[in-house]
Amino acid sequence: MDILKILVFVIFGVFLYGIESLGDDGLLVFDYYKETCPFVEDIIRRQVEIAVLKDPRMAASLLRLHFHDCFVMGCDASILLDSNDEMRGGPGWQVLLGRKDSLKASFDGANKYIPSPNSSLETLIANFHEQGLDVYDLVALSGSHTIGKARCLSFRQRAYQTSPEEEYDRYERYNTYRRVLRSICPETGQDQRVAPLDFRTPARFDNHYFLNILEGKALLGSDNVLITQDHEGEITRQVWSYASDQTLFFASFVKSIVKMGNINVLTANLGEVRTNCRFTNH
C-alpha cells in the first residue's frame, strides 16, 4: 500500500468517526467537526506533514486530487487534504468543511472535463469556464505546476513536436530544453519515466513556474500555450506579474483555489461518505 493510500485511509477513518453522530444542516463551516471530532484537523495536518516529508511529490498529488474532484464530481471530502499550513513553501489558506462525496462516479466526466497535458489554450479556457472559473483563475491555478512530476507519456508531444511559435529559435532556448526532455523520454516506450514540472526548484512551491514559461521551459504543452497561443497578450502580462512578484502569485492562487473549492459542493443528503473512495456506496 503506497503512502497516498495510507493517508486517505487515515483520513477516511476520521471522517466516519466524525460523521456518524453528526447533525448535518447542509452548511459549510470552519469548525464542522468541533463537537464530533475536535482534533480532526490536527490529525490530518500531521499526517499530511509526515507524508510530504517522506515523499515531496505528495504535496503535488494532494493538489491534483483536489483539482480532479472539483472538476469532475464536485469538491468532496478530500478537501481536507488541503492543509491550513504552508505546503512546501507555498501559501496557506483556511478551508470550509462539511463536504460529502458524490453519489455517482464519472469516468466519462473525468475524460471530458479534466484538461489533457497537450490541451490548446482555447480548450483550457473552455474547460475552466465550464466550471465557473475565468482566465485569471486558469493562470493562477496553473502555477501549482511549480511542484511535482509528470510522466513521459504526458510530455512526449512537448519533447518531439515543434510548435509554429518555436520554429525560429535563434538563441536555442527551446531546442536546448527539448534535448533535455528527449534524454529522459524516448520517442517510444518508457512511458512511466518522470521529469519535474519545475527543473529549478522541483520540491518547492514558488513562482518559478512562471519564469519557466517565459523562458520556454514549461514541461507540459498545456503550460507552454499560456504564452505561445496568447495572441492578445492578457495572459502574458499576468504571467510576467507572477514571475516578478511571488507574493502576488500566492495571493491570487489562494483566491482561485478557494473559488475552485466551492464548485458543485455537496452537503447533507446530496452526498455521502464513501466506504471505498473509488466507488459509491450503493
Mind telling me the catalytic residues? 68
Which helix (H) or strand (E) segment is 222 a member of? helix 221-228
Whether residue 206 is annotated as binding a ligand: the answer is yes
**Alpha carbons 143 and 121: distance in angstroms, whole number:** 15
Whether residue 69 is annotated as binding a ligand: the answer is yes
Whether residue 176 is annotated as binding a ligand: the answer is no
Residue pointed to by grid coordinates 502576488: 248
Whether residue 254 is annotated as binding a ligand: the answer is no
Whether residue 61 is annotated as binding a ligand: the answer is no
The C-alpha angle with vertex 63 and arms to 253 and 272, in degrees rounded to 5, equals 115
**Alpha carbons 83 and 64: distance in angstroms, whole number:** 14
Whether residue 92 is annotated as binding a ligand: the answer is no
**129: its cell numbers:** 469556464
Whether residue 91 is annotated as binding a ligand: the answer is no
Whether residue 42 is annotated as binding a ligand: the answer is no
Whether residue 115 is annotated as binding a ligand: the answer is yes
| Number of neighbouring beta carbons within 10 Å of residue 189 | 9
* 159: CB partners within 8 A, 6+ apart: 178, 181, 182, 185
Residues in binding site for Ca(2+): 69, 72, 74, 76, 78, 146, 198, 201, 206
Residues in binding site: 69, 72, 74, 76, 78, 115, 145-146, 198, 201, 206
Residues in binding site for substrate: 115
